[in-house]
Chains A and B, each alone.
Chain A
């Protein structure tokens, strides 16, 4: 199906970035959150690499399409917030006082925090489409889309729904061990097959900084052979991020 940009709730969004990983627990949600917060503070006047409407602060949205394990509300201390409606649809939840960072997650739609979303694929697809078309995102410089691990319903639904808005691409997250890199290779194949550009790879948890002696320790082996293959597939070199503090 040819992607055609239609006016809609994403018409005011300048750049869309998906955060993907074939592997669970590598830090997608953490990186999505940290990226969104970093972007919110980025953007100096005249900066050609970070053009924005209001220099000094960008307007950033986060779309959490991990329906079974929505982590972002907790990471941004926004649990329990209510989602309101307006003429254009659902109003995303602002997580900061300045209202520069907005968030939509199924976590806001659950009656209780421990409520399990036990849905099969078609129902998940329907909600993701609603998150894309029925959330009044307004004017955003960046929309960061956090995804669950894998290459299945949520990912296909998100890519299909976002395709008309020409996403910038995907950041693929992994950890050093071969088991993670193996899943990431599959995710890179998913990106290639769906025509999603890979902005780059992030190797998260690439080491642990001991709080007692400040030594940088490998907490898991790094599979250099697998990395070389991932670099070939993505045509980019991974960026390594060590553990430097406790995750939320």
Chain B
């Protein structure tokens, strides 16, 4: 699919692509509202912030994105508990960055609602839950829990740039980036801005049902398109044990084989399956670590196994050898080449 600003029967087919050398210059561009912008080449120059962020990220050893095409599968829950688990070793410095600008859940899940961000000479200070666990979210910049962030893409992109460039993270072993669902501005921006700084990889969260997997396959396509390594997939809410009769059932039945089949088909590691434990929601609502609250739960065991596999992946990672270019189109949308297929 390409530029949709065209009218007429050739819409969606004749646009050369906003990243193309013919952008703004082709016959199909005549009359397109974007023609002047494309022809000017204004979008060609890389954003200087990319280099600034590269410098800033030199003190960050590992960067992990937590993604899902689908909403409500447990990205923020997983991001928060990944951060908690890594920070249990007081010698490991952990940073948790929430780039879900419209729906910032991390402050609540981390028990940091109402905290404010302070500025110093070296930039914004993250909110520290522990000495070795710092958190940043747009939620800390809102004056009321009812405040809605009704922003279009460019403004959200600007906020993400500030989070990466202006937050004084210090020396960090792991930077975990929690994202909103989808494959849009926030995802493109975080990949673009971290392009020169190198991302270790993405952990992709799903639930077992096909409606989720459908969206997650698109997310995997996105990762392939932007050359973002995939650490693996986590299947969340995988089975529910009835507290009354103790029998297990599937709230979200894996009618098409669940994440296991998807990962086999796409040759991507399945990091693990986490069963649905009502205590997870309770801990998140109360801003506490579920791993500490309910250490014997099968969900805790699953989480810890998954987190260990992520740590092993990061420790085997060699940035000098595996550094690849992650710079996608720098202007506007990723158009003619912006739809990618997982297969």
Q: Taking beta carbons and an 8 Å cutoff, which residues of A are in contact with B?
A: 22-26, 29, 68-69, 71, 74-75, 85, 109-127, 130, 148-153, 155-156, 175, 177-179, 182-183, 185-190, 193-194, 208, 210-213, 215, 217-221, 223, 229, 233, 243, 246-248
Contacts and interface: CB of A to CB of B under 8 A. Distances in A.
A118 B151 CA distance: 18
Contacts of B342: 114
B182 A68 contact: yes
Contacts of B240: 208, 219
B133 to A, nearest CB: 19
Given A68-B183, A114-B218, A126 B244 contact: no
B9 interface: yes
Contacts of A130: 4
B244 A217 contact: yes
Contacts of A223: 285
A74 B210 contact: yes
Nearest to A115: B339
Contacts of A217: 242-244, 278
Given A85-B9, A109-B1, A186 B147 contact: yes
Contacts of B249: 210-212
B146 A68 contact: no
Interface stretch (B45-53, B86-94, B219-227): B219-227
Among A69, A85, A111, max chain B CB count under 10 A is at A69
A243 B147 CA distance: 30
Interface stretch (B68-76, B120-128, B160-168, B311-319): B68-76
Contact of B149 (A121, A122, A125, A186): A186
A183 B76 CA distance: 13
A118 B339 contact: yes
A69 B69 contact: yes
Given A24-B70, A75-B211, A220-B278, 16 more contacts: A109-B12, A110-B339, A114-B218, A114-B220, A115-B340, A116-B69, A116-B183, A116-B219, A117-B218, A119-B333, A120-B188, A153-B184, A179-B281, A188-B146, A218-B278, A219-B251
Contacts of A75: 211
A235 to B, nearest CB: 14
Nearest to A187: B148
Given A117-B218, A123-B3, A186-B149, A25 B343 contact: no
Contacts of A116: 69, 183, 218-219, 221-222, 225, 339-341
A71 B251 contact: no
A117 B339 contact: yes
Contacts, number: 240
B5 interface: yes
Interface stretch (B57-65, B101-109, B299-307): B101-109
A45 B276 CA distance: 46
20 contacts: A24-B103, A69-B214, A69-B215, A75-B211, A110-B339, A114-B221, A115-B340, A116-B225, A117-B218, A148-B71, A149-B180, A153-B153, A177-B285, A179-B285, A186-B149, A190-B148, A212-B249, A233-B146, A246-B253, A248-B209
B150 A190 contact: yes
A118 B121 CA distance: 37
A119 B278 contact: no
Contacts of A220: 278, 281-282
A114 B334 CA distance: 17
Contact of A183 (B105, B109, B185, B219): B105
A246 B181 CA distance: 22
B250 interface: yes
B151 A152 contact: yes
Contacts of B181: 24-25, 68-69, 148-149
